[in-house]
Each structure stands twice: as structure tokens, then as C-alpha cells.
Structure 1
Amino acid sequence: MHLVKKIINYLNQKKLPLLITTGVLIWYYFSLPNILFDEPTATVLDSAEGHLLGAQIAEDGQWRFPKSDSVPHKFKACILAFEDQQFYRHPGFNPVTISKALVDNLEAGKVVRGGSTITQQVIRLSRKNQERTYVEKLKELILATRLELRYSKEEILALYASYAPFGGNVVGLDMASWRYFSLPPYQLSWAESATLAVLPNAPALIYPGKNKELLRQKRNRLLHLLFQQGTIDKLTYTLALEEDLPAKPYDLPQIAPHALQYINKSHRGKRVQTSIKYRLQQQVNVLVNQHYALQKQNEVHNLAVLVLDVKQRKVISYVGNAPTDNAHQKDVDVIQAARSTGSTLKPLLYAAMMDKGELLPQELVADVPTVIAGYNPQNFDESYSGAVPANRALARSLNIPAVRLLQQYGLERFRDELRAFKIKDLKFSASHYGLSLIVGGAEGSLWDLCKTYAGLAGTLTHFNETSSEYYQNEFIEPSLLANEEVKFGDLKREKMVYGAGSIWLTFQAMKEVNRPQEDEAWKFYDSARQIAWKTGTSFGNRDAWAIGIDKNYVVGVWLGNADGEGRPELTGLNAAAPLLFDVFNLLPKSEWFATPYDDLMTRELCQKSGAIAGNYCPVTSQLVVRSKYDKMPCVNHKLVHLTRDGQYRVNSSCESVSNMIQKSWFVLPPLEAYFYKNSQADYQPLPPFKSNCMQGNENRMDFIFPKNNSIVYLPKDFDGQKSEVVLKIAHTNPTLHVYWYVDENYLGVTKEYHELAIQPAPGMHIITALDDYGNEIKTKLEVRE
């Protein structure tokens, strides 16, 4: 108890000194700012391997890289030898060097020598290089000791290397190394490291042609000191002396400028390690340059390439535009730009219909002149196939079958399903797009389309690799960040959009697309790479697309003009596809997708029509989606009764049963048959009835033009004469006559080739065609001038 009282009395007597001491200690503790350097830094982009891809200057116009965590060995040895040989021994200041500097400066009557340690120089840099007075020196000394208590020696060295000036607007070792030697700091030679080590002491020496000899002398003195210390040997020293000084500054690498632009939006002023593969990015750049040189001859000035790793869902190559000029918007990142999707959404519709059991892989779909609510879709080559298997329609990218299938599936229904793919620029209602949605009436970016196809590929791969389950976040945004983990969500039995079976069947169809001319024979090589791919060409040849998928990679290519100008010969097949396959040739070969048997089943289908086999069909077994099928059996095969020689059809009204033969006959509707037989030489129309036979009501003819509710314009020519409308029908029996009427007014008769030119007055008209057997068809036509 007595001791406690003595202590209390002592403290009361020493209260003022204790308060002063406590105050000084508190001030000392908080004297150093929590953030030493708050200057803006450049945005720096590195590849997955750590190589520099590019950088964007800091907001204050300085080339200042974000702080580095380490200092290369050679530069560390140089800077310690030149600036602070006692760095690892002093507490932040060196009394010996300070004393020597003080004596020299007093004798000279001005500041001729500094005694600052590297720690003090870090403080001076953080204080924006205050005027060099003795009071300021005292502040730096105190703060330097505080800095030593907060940071390790290595951290202090890293701060110095990151914020020291290296001439002009170059700040920090990282930037100086690239600016003066076009190398990362860890690749600098001893001579190069020594050159940079002497620069912060006199940064003006770096300017080309100015004080060059003085810079050489300082560098060589430092090299000699390193030799004397035994840091470098005689041979290294001798060779280092022979190295030239830097000449004019180098430009920074610009290997992925548009990826840098994209990253800068969310990571401004940071150093970002991306998932981009350095070597691949360089190789894709070379290909882009080569294809751009060809395309600009057709006045096509912009293109973009995106490569995704499906498994990791990471970007491994990002070329946002061609090496064009400012006049052609070279800085526009086309990968993120909204463009007409062309035919790139068609595979989604085919997958959707197969997934719901509403379409079979080789089911015949109509490819005939079509008018739907005034909309008249056309195939790219303006031809018609009559009827074509669904998988071939997709492989050939036929517009008319796609539009008819979309109408059948439901425009609103399909538009709602597309929301699952998160295509940002596809933001309007179904009524806004109409049926043109499937042939380029919507907009999307190369980023979102590649993301969508990567999601499809991932769905299929994950289904096969798991217990036939689906991730719930398969259509996730791809990542450009090397260390960002992409999370696909939970596994469930229920599919999110389309099942693995429908995706696999869609990819099988896309694999059969005819490749560019130089790669046409790919099927004949066992080593050929199997790729599911889709081209697209927008209206007016404004956009050319090609997107390819295999198990591991998605490659997307877009070509066109950023200002929307279309060019002849700018098509997905001619312009985009060759670059697509050149890029795929740079990638490791992947195995083809495994067959998802758990989501498929074998079904007997009609060999000719691809529909569910009926009673009279030649049958084949095929894999189809495991789904409920409410479809009618094949209606294209009919059992017909013929005369014994097979020349005529007969029935009981004109022939005895004993004289008849029965045969299964493949029959298409008249309009489909009209075009189908032009490309399918083996198609045989039904034989005519024997002349004395009674005939049932059969659909014998159909309009080729005009389709119902068509609108035509009849301008006048140079002579003032009104143009004509050519009426045209297809008939199953070309030997019959067809009688033509417009609004109940008889116009004429045709035989075999049923075409008739007329000049109707403006307004609405009813066109009627009647054959010898009384079969009649009608259509509405609106004429405008």
C-alpha cells in the first residue's frame, strides 16, 4: 500500500512531463498518414502469364503504374549501392551521411549534397517534394523513423521504386523500364538497371541527346562500384560498359487495347491480371491484320474476334477492332457493340422446338414463297427448296423455314425464352421485332452471342460429366479476370432452358454446315476438327458473323463497318468464316461432345420425311429428344392404286381390284412439290388418273404468286406504261387447263406452265384459278401505285 502511494505521488509530481511525453508519442504515432501516396495511377493490363498487354495513362497525365510489391534483384543492388548502402542498418536516417552533408553544405554556403536515405526520399516523395530546407529535413527525418516502424525494409524499397521520378511524366520503375528499354523490370540487364538507378537523382538526364555523356558517366561509376563490391564479376562489368544508353522512348505494348478499354471501366487505376493468353492474343492479332488487309479492299474497315474457354468461362483472346484509322472508328470496341444478329439466333429456335417435341431433327419443313401478315421473308440466295429437312435448313441457314417455324412455335413464346440468355441489346417486346426476329430483326453483341453459345456448350458438357444434371447459372457472364472464379450455381435435374439432347442435336446439324472453299474437304480427314458453327449476314450486307463451338472453346467473329455501311460480298460465309477457322487452328484440338443418351431416345421415323413413321413409310431409327410427341404420323406417304403397268392411278370406279397394284408414294403439297422437284431429281409426282376414273377432291394446285394478302406496287416505266403483275400457280397435273379470274372477270386460260401477266387497277382484288375438274383456289391481292 505504501508503494502505491509513492507511485501516485511521483506521478502527481511528474504530471506535466508525462502529459508532454504522452502527447509527443501520440503525435509521433499518428504523424504518418495512413495513405502515403494518393496520386492516380495508370490502368495496367497483364496476360494470364503475367506479360504486359497494355496500359492507359493516369488521370493526371502521368505514366505511373500501380505500386509494385517487389523490386527486381538487379535494380535493388544498383539503387542501394548508389543511394543508400547502409539501408538495412539504419533506423530511417544515417547520422554519418547527414553530418557529412551538413559540413559540405555549410562550407559551400548552399545545399550541394543531400544526406537522405531511401526511407527519407520516400517521405519526401509522399510530401510532394517540399522545399528543401533544414526544417523540412527534420520533418523528413522524424517521419522516416515512423515509416520504418510501420513498414518492412522491402516494402519501403517497393514504395521508392514505385514512386520515384524517372524523367518527364514517367514515374516508377515499372513504367521507366518499359518506356526506356521496352522490357519488364525483371528482364533488365545490369547496365539498364544501373541507368535507371541513377535517374531519380537527376531525372532530366534521360532526355535524348541532352546530358547523354553525364548520364553515361554516372551509370559507369555505379557499375564500377558494383564491381568493386563484388556484386558483378569482371566480364559482366566489361560487357555492361559497352551497352548503349536508351535512345528515344518506346511506346507501351498495345496487344489488347480494347480489352484494356473494357477493363478500365470497372478497374480504373489498377493493375489487372486477365485471363487472356499472351501468345494466342498475339497470333490472333496477326490473323486479324491479315484478314483486315483483304477486307479493306472491299471497303470493310472493322472486325472483331472473341475467344472463350468454355470450361472456365474465361476470355482468352479479345480483339475489339481491326487496325484501322480514326476515320473508321478504330477505338470502337465492336465486341460490346449492338449489331443486327443476322441468322445467329436460328439454332436457338431449332433447339427450342426439338426440346419441346415440336420438331424432329430431319423433319421436312416448307421452303416456299411465304407471306405472313404482309411480311415476305426471302432466303439469302432468293431460291426455294420446296421442302427441306430441318437440320439441313439450319445448316444452310434458310430464312423462310426459320420464319415459318417461328410462327408455328409462337413469337411471344420464343421471345420470352430468349430472356434466359441475358442478351442485353435484345430488350424490346415480341411485337416490336415481329417474325424478323429470327433473321436479323434484333440486335445483339458479339460478347452476348458468344456467351450464349458457351452456355449451350457448357450445358451439354456438364450434363455428360455429372449425373445428368444441369447447373442453374450456365449462361453466366464470361470473365476477363484471371483470378475470378466463375460460379455456375447449384446442380439440379431440371433444365434451365433447353436440355442436353436438343443442344446436341442442334450442334450435330451445325457441324454439317458447308465450310469455306479452302476447307471444303474437312470430312475426308480422320484428323479433321469437328466444329459446330453458324454464320449470319444482316440485311444489306452490313454485318457478317461466324460463331463456332467445340467442347472447349467458342470463337466469335464479326466483320462490317462501324457506321453501318453495307458492302457487296460481305457475308458470314465469305468474310467471317475463313477468319473463324484460322483462329480455331491456333487452339488445341478438342474432342467432340459426348452423346447425352440420358436425354435422348431412339424413335422410328419416316426415312423420307423425317416425321414419325406412318403405315406406309420406309422406316429408319434415329435419336430424338426424350420428350412427349403429339405430332401426327407422316402424311407425305400415301398408299395409291395403280394399273398393272404403273402408268395411271385407278379406283373401283374404273378398274377391278384384281387388275390393281398398290404402292407407297411420297407426295408433297403442290407448291412444295413444284420447287422440290427442281432440286430433287428422284421426286416423282403422282401418276394421273385413268381417264374413265372418278376422282375425289384432292388439293391439286396452289399459288406461287401472289400469296394471300400480298401487296404489290405497279410503277410506270419511262414510256408511261404501267408495270404488270405475273400470276403463277403450281399444279400436280400439268396437262389440265387452268382458268383465271380477277374479281369474277375472266382473264384467260393456261396449260402446263401456269403463268399469266395482268395489269389490275389499284385497290383490293380477288384472284381465282379454276382447273378442268372444278378445283378452285383464291387469294387476295392489294395493288398500289
Structure 2
Amino acid sequence: MKSIINFIRRNKIKSAVVLLTLVAYYFCLPKQLFKDPTATVITSQSDELLGALIADDGQWRFPASVSIPDKFKNCILLFEDEYFYKHPGFNPVSIFKALKENLGAGTVKRGGSTLTQQVIRLSRKGQSRTYFEKFIELILATRLEFRLSKDEILNLYASHAPFGGNVVGIDAASWRYFNRDASNLSWAESATLAVLPNAPSLIYPGNNQKLLLAKRNRLLKKLLNKGTIGKLTYELALAETLPQKPYPLPQIAPHLLQKIAQTHKGERVKTTIDFALQERSNAIAKQHHNHLKQNEIHNLSILVLDVKTREVLTYIGNSPTDKEHQNNVDIIDKPRSTGSILKPFLYAAMLDAGDLLPHTLVADVPTHYGTYQPQNYDQTFDGAVHANEALSRSLNVPIVRMLQEFGLSRFYHYLKALKLKDLTYDANHYGLSIILGGAESSLWDMCKSYAAMSSTLNHFNANSSQYYSNEFRQPIFNANQSVDFGTLTHEKEVFDAASIFLTYESMKQVNRPESDESWEYYDSSQEIAWKTGTSYGFRDAWAIGTTSDYVVGVWVGNADGEGRPGLVGVQTAAPILFEVFDLLPKSDWFAKPFDEMLEVNICKKSGYRASSICDDTELRFIQASGQKTQACPFHKLVHLDESERYQINSSCEATSNINSKPWFILPPLQAYYYKTKNPFYKPLPPYRSDCLESSEVSMQFIYPNQQSTIYLPKDFDGKTNDLILKLAHSKPELEVYWYLDDYYIGSTKDMHDMAILPSPGTYMVTVTDELGNELKHKITISE
């Protein structure tokens, strides 16, 4: 150490020169050798290529690989730099031989560069190939050997070497010329690519094929002589043909590629996509697109989520249509009219709040809220229908009435808790039509919400009846990410587990498409909670389903919003949904969350908690919050004679002869429609003639609705048709007197229909029965 210090003191100038030289040598190599833009590349969860976007400079240049395949590694080392792992960045023997041959020929006949030097040359684009430049490359190559390992240098070369045309790097070259990953190349294919960087122009189709073939075969012969390959492998390799033209790169998930490129441009991203499932779902999408486009329906999207991990397994943003029909538009995250897809959320919210039991009867009768008049799809009414059936049959009128009863603001609060980002207005802006498609949401948010509900139920049953605090979170498609469900708590995030389970039980009963309608009779079938939706004007068709493991969502329509006849959820989206589910492993049905359920006595006919006079009951599990619902209001104790044909009372019969019996009675308007579809419904018997009748009667107008505007139709001959007023009476045998304003227009008995032909204007219709009960109804007649 002292001798070094003494030498520096005696030779200060020399020491300074050496020091400066060392500093210059240390800093001579740029920190980042290559700054070229790279392609955006996405792969599946098992590393299969899903697609790539060309780099900004128009080159197919993939991001640098971590490693290169062994076959290509053996080929490139043997062809370019056999002593790569032994030299310090340059090979003196090769340089001497090249210098001697070139000087003797008077021109450059041979290169003596190592792979390390070639990496430097590739990074120093456009430099002339002079001896001085070679000297600079040599210095930088030795410096690179200090910075990186040999394998890292080799990977840099393989990632940035030119392979002809606009193809750079082994990864892009293997796909462009052989349509497969570099790790799957044969010896002949690896040898072909190994000789190309040395003369990349040889790859052009039809040009220099003999020269390329000769170079490849010479390399294969060297591999044989070195013992790297056997004789049979060598002979088979010689028989392989050369690539004739570049292949297009795979586009298995093009819309996901575009989405990822927005935030990870120029990067290689490993996604959560299941490659086989994505490919088979693509085939389903193509098949249905070919069928749907015959009806001028051009777009569809499919999303598959893993409930447990919240990973995206399939992402089809649009059908394989053309540019004219917006094939580049990713519809998965675009807001569309929801149709009936929100109905299960209302059902779950009412269960969760304790305002409803699954089988509670709800009214299905003509309904009018100001100018808003909801209609069922088939334009008929059931009078009264069980709530779970209203959901499974997607009946509009009962659902709107349920929303009115529950409260628009309360329901909107639940929707906001689901984090639906496209609900940008307040509740009053949407009104009651929000439940029938008056709002917009995306397939992404809908699938996210159903996945969160399924996960909530799974976690509750798996974690000693506890919830996670962050269930309603975004799904992921980047394999390097993971979902944080938060912490365990006894507090639900949105819906309780019992309400979700009972909602899914109802959704499981939805009638499946014709091809799958007998699913329950096949062992291979699985239980699926699913729902369809159709927006107003037949613009959007939805189908979303869930099992305990997966959520599948499908949207069908036109990206430009054009409606088409037949664009209905159950006809167009549902068949796709079930075909995709058939690709997925069979899932067990959700476990019943007993800790949040109670077994109570339920009235079979009404679905309410059984009262003391309900005569037909059964034990059912309901959500714990449902215990506060009222007892059955439709069963009343009536007094009958021995034949049970007449009602009696103490005014006409001794108390000992009165037979008291529970009777299921619906309000008149509900009963009017209910009995047409329930032939066993029995109206109350009339009072016996010698008895004083009770004045407890009720009337309701069937048609028209309160304060409605009516347009009278005309016949083919131009004659205006009558307006038929219809009334439901709890005792139809009573005579009813009709008045239009203050003018008496007639009476009816048994069937309370009255025909009138008023002039345009506003009228008050008044009816009075023979017991003095009165009902008024305002109508407007328009031309």
C-alpha cells in the first residue's frame, strides 16, 4: 500500500492520467444501452401470447426477455461466438484472423466481433464500420462485461438483433416467421433464426432462399459435428422448409390489449386470462356473430370472472365484426341501458331490509304513476304473484310496484354502495324507470357486482359467519396483482348473506333458453343464478349468471345504439351465456348461510308469515331480518252455513250453527286477474238471502287507470269505437250504478263493464253500488 502511495507522489501526472482514464472507462457506457420503443405484449396466465401492438417506430420489437430458449442459444453461440463464455468481451484470435483476411483481400471479408461487441454495435445505431469504431466497440464491450453477466448480454443480443424487415428480436421473429413461441421452435427453425442477424435480408419471401438454406444447413452440420444434435434430428431438420412469408401476430384478446396499452405501453404484461377458455369463447362469439348479423345485430361482448380470485378469465370486448360496425370499440366498459339486470339488486335490497319475504304475494295489476305506466313483456297481468316468481319471470309491473313501496331513494342508496360508476345523476332523475332500464351501466360493473355478491356468500360460509370489508372491488386482469378483500368483520358491506342466497335461489328458477330448458334432468348440468335484460327499443340484450366459482356476463346489440326486432336477452344473450358456462368446470351450489336465517311458518298461498288462521302452511328458511314482516293479510275468518255455499251471521242463524273457516281473499282488482290464471281461486260465497249483509265491500277500477289520457280507436270505416269501463267488485252480484260527471249512464250486475262514447274532454266517472259504496275516477278523452 505504501509503495502505491509513494508511486503516486513521485508520478502525479501519470497517476492523474490513469485515474482520469479509469473514470472515463467507468462512465463510458450509457446506463441504458437501448432506448428503442417496444411493442406492447400481453400473455395469458400460462404465458401464451394473446396479442401485441407494434412499437411506435413501426418495428415488431418485443420487450427484452429474461431468458432465451436453449436451442436458439446453442445455435447462436455456435454460429456467432463459440467462445462467448470464455472471452472478456473481445476475442483476440478472431480479431487477428479477420484483420489478416481483410487486409489480404483489400476489403472487409470477415468480421471478428463477439456477441458482446455486436450488442454494443446494435446500441450505437448508424455508426460506420471503421477500425476506429471497432476499437470503440471493443472498449465498450469490455466495460459491458463488467456490468452484466454473460447470460444478460446474450439476452440483450437476442432481444435487439435484426431479423429482417421490421422484425427485431428472437421473440418477435419466432412469431412472425414460425407462428409460435421461441421456446417451441425446432432445431431447424432455431438455426434459421440464428443465421438471420448476420444477413437479415435473406428472409424476404422468394429472395435468396438457396443462400439462406445453405447457411442454415451448415449450422445444422456444425451442431451435428459438435454432438449437440443426433443424426436423426439432423436429417429431420434438413427436411424442414424455410419460412415463406411473415405470419400475423395472434390477436386472441385484442380489446384487452388496447386497454392494457393505455397504462402499460411498450411493456410485456402477463394477464389472468385463461388461454384455452379465451380461444373457445372467441369461437362461440364468432359463431353467434355470424348468426346475429343476419338480423343486423353486429356487436357482442363476453366477460368471465373467477369469483374467488376476482381475476378476469375471458375478455371479449367486441364481436369479430368490421370497422363499419365499430369492431374496435370495447363495449365491456361502456355504459348501456341496463334493462332488467338491476331487478335482482332490488329483490336483495328488500330482503336485506326486511321488507319482503321470498314468496310474498305482490300485486300484478294495471299500474299508473303519473304519466309512467309500466307494462309486462307479454302485456298481461297475473293479479298477484309471488315475489320470487316476479323476479324469475322478470315481470315489470310487480317489480315497479315493489320499488315504489320500498322507496326509490332507499334503492338508489344500495346501488351507489355497489359502486356503479355510471350512475351519475340523483335518484329523482331516473325515477321508477331505473329498475327497467332507465339507468345505464357497463358489463364490467354488472359482472363485478354479481361476483362481489357471490364472494360475499362464499366468504360468509367459509369464515365463521363473518364478512370481508372490501368485497365490492374491481376485478383484475394483471397477473402480478392480487385482490385485497380487506379485514374480517361481523358487519355486512352491502347485502347480508341470507338475502344474497335467497336472491340466487330465485334467479336459479329463471326459465332457460330452449336448448337448455331441461337442464335439471342432466347430471352434467349445473345450478346457475342468472338474469337477462332487454332495454327499451330493443337496443341492448343482457345475460349475467353466477355460480359459486364463476361469473359470466354477455351483452348483445349494436355499438351505435340501433335497436333491432328480436334483440331480446333470453333469445340472443342467454344462449351465449350457457355455452360459455359449458366450457367452465362444474361448480357446487352455494351453501345455505344458516347463521343468518330463521325457519318460520309460512302461508303457502300468500308467502307471508302465517297468521293464526292460515289453513295451509309450511316451514321455510327466511332471512333473519324477515321476521319483522307482517303476518298474512289475505286470510280472513268467514262464517258459513253447513253447505259452505253461503255466508251467514247471527242475524239469520244461531251461533252454534255457524261454521267459521279461513278464506284466502285478494283485493278485487287483484282477484279479477288472479282467478283467470288460478282456476282454484274461490271468491267469497254470497250472503244467504235471509241474512243482513256486511257493508264491508270494496271496488277498484280495472280500466282505465286513474287520471289517464285515452285515445279512442277507429274502425276501418272511420267509426270511433266505444270506451269500455271495467270495474272489479268484491261482491259482483250487487248492482252498480254508473255516472259520467253528474249524468247517470246505466247500471251493471255480475259483470261490471260499461260502454260509453264520450266527446274529447275531461270527465269524472262515479260508481255507486246498492249498498251506497262509492268510487270516483278521473279520465281524459283525447282525439
TM-score, length basis structure 2: 0.96
2: CA distance, partners of 1:8 / 1:540: 92
Alignment partner, residue 113 of structure 1:
110
TM-superposed deviation, 1:219: 1.0
Instruction: List alignment gaps of at least 5 residues for structure 1.
Output: none
Alignment partner, residue 727 of structure 1:
725
Q: Report the residue type matching 1:22 in the other structure.
A: L
2: CA distance, partners of 1:638 / 1:386: 19
Structure 1 position 64 matched with structure 2 position 61: yes
Structure 1 position 312 matched with structure 2 position 309: yes
CA contact (8 A) 1:671 1:730 kept: yes
Alignment partner, residue 746 of structure 2:
748
Structure 2 SS opposite 1:183: coil
Which is worse superposed, 112-121 or 193-202? 112-121
Q: Report the residue type matching 2:29 in the other structure.
A: L
2:52 to 50, 55, 58: 55
CA contact (8 A) 2:695 2:771 kept: no
TM-superposed deviation, 1:328: 1.4
Q: Report the residue type matching 1:547 in the other structure.
A: I
2: CA distance, partners of 1:166 / 1:110: 25
Alignment partner, residue 41 of structure 1:
38
2: CA distance, partners of 1:220 / 1:230: 15
1: CA distance, partners of 2:225 / 2:521: 70
Matches within 5 A, 1:611-626: 611-618=608-615, 619-626=617-624
Matches within 5 A, 1:388-537: 388-525=385-522, 528-537=525-534
2:384 to 382, 387, 391: 387
Matches within 5 A, 1:145-544: 145-525=142-522, 528-544=525-541
Alignment partner, residue 125 of structure 2:
128
TM-superposed deviation, 1:753: 3.4
Q: Report the residue type matching 2:670 in the other structure.
A: E
Alignment partner, residue 649 of structure 2:
651
Alignment partner, residue 582 of structure 1:
579
2: CA distance, partners of 1:527 / 1:285: 23
Structure 2 SS opposite 1:213: helix
Structure 1 position 594 matched with structure 2 position 591: yes
TM-superposed deviation, 1:690: 2.2
1: CA distance, partners of 2:719 / 2:220: 95
Q: Report the residue type matching 2:213 in the other structure.
A: R
Q: Report the residue type matching 1:312 in the other structure.
A: T
1: CA distance, partners of 2:74 / 2:668: 89
Which is worse superposed, 496-505 or 772-781? 772-781
Q: Deviations over 1:526-573 (max 9, x none)?
A: 553111111111112211111111111111111111111222222121
Structure 1 position 26 matched with structure 2 position 23: yes
2: CA distance, partners of 1:525 / 1:718: 53
The structure-2 alpha-carbon separation of the partners of 1:725 and 1:150, relative to structure 1 and needing over 3 Å to count, comes to farther
Structure 2 SS opposite 1:690: coil
TM-superposed deviation, 1:623: 0.7
TM-superposed deviation, 1:347: 0.9
1: CA distance, partners of 2:138 / 2:757: 101
Alignment partner, residue 687 of structure 2:
689
Alignment partner, residue 659 of structure 2:
661
CA contact (8 A) 2:609 2:629 kept: yes
Q: Report the residue type matching 2:84 in the other structure.
A: F
Q: Report the residue type matching 1:296 in the other structure.
A: K
1: CA distance, partners of 2:401 / 2:639: 34
Q: Report the residue type matching 2:194 in the other structure.
A: A
Structure 1 position 769 matched with structure 2 position 767: yes
2: CA distance, partners of 1:424 / 1:85: 60
Q: Deviations over 1:243-268 (max 9, x none)?
A: 10001111111111122122222221
Which is worse superposed, 600-609 or 762-771? 762-771
2: CA distance, partners of 1:429 / 1:662: 52
Structure 2 SS opposite 1:748: strand
2: CA distance, partners of 1:711 / 1:630: 40
TM-superposed deviation, 1:760: 4.1
Q: Report the residue type matching 2:109 in the other structure.
A: V
Alignment partner, residue 548 of structure 1:
545
Structure 1 SS opposite 2:532: strand
2: CA distance, partners of 1:145 / 1:724: 102
CA contact (8 A) 1:374 1:711 kept: no
2:777 to 767, 776, 779: 779
The structure-2 alpha-carbon separation of the partners of 1:98 and 1:727, relative to structure 1 and needing over 3 Å to count, comes to same
1: CA distance, partners of 2:445 / 2:314: 15
Which is worse superposed, 767-776 or 381-390? 767-776
Instruction: List alignment gaps of at least 5 residues for structure 2.
Output: none
CA contact (8 A) 1:358 1:629 kept: no
Structure 2 SS opposite 1:627: helix
Q: Deviations over 1:298-335 (max 9, x none)?
A: 22211111111111111111122212111211121121
TM-superposed deviation, 1:488: 0.2
CA contact (8 A) 1:347 1:394 kept: yes
The structure-2 alpha-carbon separation of the partners of 1:11 and 1:262, relative to structure 1 and needing over 3 Å to count, comes to same
Matches within 5 A, 1:598-613: 598-613=595-610
CA contact (8 A) 2:351 2:626 kept: no
2: CA distance, partners of 1:381 / 1:614: 34
Alignment partner, residue 698 of structure 2:
700
1: CA distance, partners of 2:103 / 2:189: 36
Structure 1 SS opposite 2:751: coil
1: CA distance, partners of 2:722 / 2:192: 85
Q: Report the residue type matching 2:435 in the other structure.
A: I
The structure-2 alpha-carbon separation of the partners of 1:560 and 1:699, relative to structure 1 and needing over 3 Å to count, comes to farther
1: CA distance, partners of 2:713 / 2:23: 93
Structure 2 SS opposite 1:27: helix
Which is worse superposed, 763-772 or 281-290? 763-772
CA contact (8 A) 2:697 2:731 kept: no
CA contact (8 A) 1:669 1:699 kept: no
Which is worse superposed, 708-717 or 55-64? 708-717
CA contact (8 A) 1:729 1:754 kept: yes
2: CA distance, partners of 1:227 / 1:129: 37
2: CA distance, partners of 1:223 / 1:525: 57
1: CA distance, partners of 2:336 / 2:159: 43
TM-superposed deviation, 1:707: 2.0
Q: Deviations over 1:152-192 (max 9, x none)?
A: 11001100000111111111000100000111111111111
2: CA distance, partners of 1:758 / 1:20: 116
Structure 1 position 91 matched with structure 2 position 88: yes
2: CA distance, partners of 1:260 / 1:399: 39
TM-superposed deviation, 1:759: 4.4
TM-superposed deviation, 1:524: 3.2
Which is worse superposed, 554-563 or 110-119? 110-119
The structure-2 alpha-carbon separation of the partners of 1:667 and 1:480, relative to structure 1 and needing over 3 Å to count, comes to same
Structure 1 position 639 matched with structure 2 position 642: no
Structure 2 SS opposite 1:556: strand
The structure-2 alpha-carbon separation of the partners of 1:550 and 1:656, relative to structure 1 and needing over 3 Å to count, comes to same
TM-superposed deviation, 1:516: 1.5
Which is worse superposed, 103-112 or 402-411? 103-112
